[in-house]
Chains A and B, each alone.
Chain A
Amino acid sequence: MSTATVNPGSASTWDRVRSFTPPPRYYPILATLALFIGLFGLGGMRYEGFSDPQVLLSLLIDNAFLIVLGVGMTFVILTGGIDLSVGSVVALSTMIAAKTLQMGWSPYASITAVLLTGTVLGLLMGLLIHYFDIQPFIATLAGLFLARGLTYLISVESISISDDTFTQLAFKTVYIGEYYIRWTAIIALATVAIAAFVLARTRFGRTVYAIGGSESSAMLMGLRVAFTKVGVYVISGFCAALAGLLFSLYILSGNSLHAIGMELDAIAAVVIGGTLLTGGRGYVVGSLLGVMVLGIIKTLISFDGTLSSYWIRIITGLLLLAFVVVQRFATRRRS
């Protein structure tokens, strides 16, 4: 017994750091991180004022809603599903908030109404997908049209938000030394933290991964497949509503034309963040990084000033393609 044991003190910390290789499952997320750092470094070299930490904080502020949307989408994609309705739910949320505030509701009642609507929509889609065995693509496509239609039903005109609580929350800044951040960004980061915990350290979270790996196995292992599968759409619906609130704080209006195609941005961010579209592999922190990569491309192009904004789309498209191809190779080698 004693001859076989290795004295743990004999390996120095430096040795352990030096010989550390991350497990392969972290490669995609590390690739995204490297990409982000690379883009940030590129910007820092080329444009004056880009390497200011405030640029990073602004990225968080400007993309807070997309981060929250990406969190919800990560849950769904990890099970192997997809949620196309989130963009429309964001629009519906801004509209419900604007309309109820215009009608004189208290901001808290308004917020509750928004979150409840998103959650219930998610629940309905989840039930449809699981119990009627409808393709997530189709069920959430129906949700997309439904939510967008409801938005028009409430008002075809744009409604601006002038409620004091909302405007205060929207502009209130928190200073960290000489840099500042908005509450919306803090809420987004908190969402990421909670989601990361739920996915990594709760049975619900691990079941999400198990379903993505093999739904029939998960069922035979006696896991709560129905609850979890419906649950991820509820979470996505809730996150979409929360993102809608953050978006309405960002833009201070409700409009039926808001957030058209935003679900695709969210999916792009999740994929660039290293989550496999077939489910089972990926991390919510990756999605955060994915949003940041998309955001920094936008910032780079606006710093440049000479490039047209459509370059954002082209570069996003190319990145997405590159990541999907790389993932394909990674998974093929494994099998």
Chain B
Amino acid sequence: MTQMTTPPEVVAPPEGERSPVIEMRDISITFGAVRALDRVSLRLFPGEVHALMGENGAGKSTLIKALTGVYTIDAGEVIVEGEPHEFHSPAASQEAGISTVYQEVNLVPNLTVAENMMLGREPRRFGAISVRDMNRRARRTLLHLGVDIDPRSTLDEHPIAIQQLVAIARAVDVEAKVLILDEPTSSLDADEVEKLFTVMRRLRDEGVAIVFVSHFLDQIYEIADRMTILRNGKLVEERMVAQTTQLELVRSMIGRELETLDRLDCEAPKTDAETGVPVLKAIGLGRKNSLEATDLELFEGEVVGIAGLLGSGRTELARLLFGADTADTGELTFRSERRKLRSPRHAIDRKVAFSSEDRKAEGVVGDLTVADNMLLALQASRGWLRPIPQAMRTQLVDDYIAALDIRPADPHALMRNLSGGNQQKVLLARWLITQPEILILDEPTRGIDIGAKAQIQAKVAELAAQGLSVVFISAELEEVLRLSDRLVVMRDRRKIDERVNADVSVRDVLEIIAGEAHPEPQAEPQSEGATHV
């Protein structure tokens, strides 16, 4: 084990000196009438981390899928080490040395770690798979990446972060020349991200070209050397990360000034909320193994932000408020009516709307149109016997597409063809159409780009100003702080603090979360306990 551990000196490949391992030239892809990619080019050099930047719907995923053989290219060419290639299947792309790790871990949970790494290329002896060789090789590759787990254990015994690393181990086991990481960090905590970055740096130093997609700008600046920026399916520019400020980057990603964000920032928090009867009041609301007894008050026109780490009980609280789970203890009062929620139906009747954090599984109906998806909740609350009149449908849908700037602005587009940010906007519209009094948003901006994020935040602030009460949950503290009038901090499945949001900083919140026991927010042993779900 004489591993080269010399620190990287020059990370940027000098233009013209080295030749790219992959060059995609003028790639165009069309889906039906939508031009997803319009003459986009991408160059990847060996030994670099290359960030692929762009808003949701900019064409990042499409470009990646074009390179990995999932989509067929309409025009343009892919050149691998000087030779043109055409990939018609993921297998063909892998054969050329291109490996991909997707946002959702694309492994099989029921097989062992070693099998997941070796599936399709298991070492064989006399025609039979040699389990011993397979485990040995898997172990070697894992150790090389600094991951110390038993390759014989079943994959689903491990947390998502480890599964992600196993996916990377699978990707590099084939001596990959190019490793594509499509939002690998979206479900990892800080320690796990650091672990991933260590692995990435090691691979980069060995000469692998890494394509990195992430919505976290800080991560891009920490790890990436060069970047390619896309917007609306077109190439904007290719830049060195070190020579680009964050502001410049955001500007070229969204192509307009950050007015929306700035406007929000200067808005002062409302402090006069505590007058009158709360719209929603929870006393001692709790559920076994899920949430300890929690009190919460929500006033008209108020945004209550819930801050906490993954697994702190923030989603559990939201689900109890909506009746998605039934509370064991405590009581809920809507204005003056005390009410036990046994199903979401009861909450919907009290004009509560809930947008789940898992938009893929619990929100989006991919095979229906944008219009149908928007009207789903309204139709459900009207009952199936009273269809929404056609004129009203068109009116509502057009209004909300315009109000939320949903793209494409086509009510008949299929939901699954929309980008994540736009899907989220449709879901927001779905609940707003029902004219709720209380809106619970669980991670409404996760995994969506900064432009759509700002728009959603602006909309939430605007709605609250009009009298809507909002419970806003997000892993991003900046976002919670920016939006909320009052702040509830949660840890270890209970509420640990509540305060009016005036001059509360991210650091303050981190200190509250860290508590006395963990004065350093980055204290290492904390992470494991906090992330289990």
**A residues whose Cβ falls under 8 Å from a Cβ of B:** 23-25, 197, 200-203, 206-207, 209-210, 212-214, 216-224, 280-281, 334-335
Contacts and interface: CB of A to CB of B under 8 A. Distances in A.
B428 to A, nearest CB: 28
Contacts, number: 74
A206 B111 contact: yes
Nearest to B134: A206
Given A202-B128, A219-B90, A281 B110 contact: yes
Given A220-B100, A222-B94, A206 B115 contact: yes
A217 B108 contact: yes
Contacts of B156: 334-335
Given A201-B129, A203-B122, A209 B110 contact: yes
A214 B131 CA distance: 22
B120 interface: yes
A217 B155 CA distance: 13
A218 B170 CA distance: 13
B496 interface: no
Nearest to A222: B91
Interface in B101-121: 102, 106-111, 115, 119-120
B119 A221 contact: yes
B170 to A, nearest CB: 8
Given A203-B122, A207-B119, A222-B91, A217 B128 contact: no
B19 interface: no
Interface of B: 70, 89-91, 93-94, 100, 102, 106-111, 115, 119-120, 122, 127-129, 131, 152, 154, 156, 170
Contact of A214 (B93, B108, B122): B108
B120 A223 contact: yes
A334 B170 CA distance: 23
B108 A213 contact: yes
B112 to A, nearest CB: 9
A interface majority secondary structure:
helix
B110 A280 contact: yes
Contact of A221 (B106, B122, B129, B131): B106
Nearest to A1: B1
Contacts of A223: 91, 119-120
A176 B181 CA distance: 60
Given A206-B111, A216-B106, A220-B102, A201 B120 contact: no
A23 B129 CA distance: 20
Given A197-B128, A219-B90, A221-B170, 10 more contacts: A203-B120, A203-B129, A206-B111, A206-B129, A207-B119, A209-B110, A214-B108, A220-B102, A221-B119, A281-B110
A220 B128 contact: no
Given A25-B154, A201-B128, A202-B129, A218 B90 contact: no
A209 B108 contact: yes
Contacts of B154: 23-25
Most interface-central of A197, A217, A334, A335 (chain B CB within 10 A) = A217
A210 B106 contact: no
Contacts of B94: 222
Contacts of B122: 203, 206
Contacts of A210: 108, 111, 119
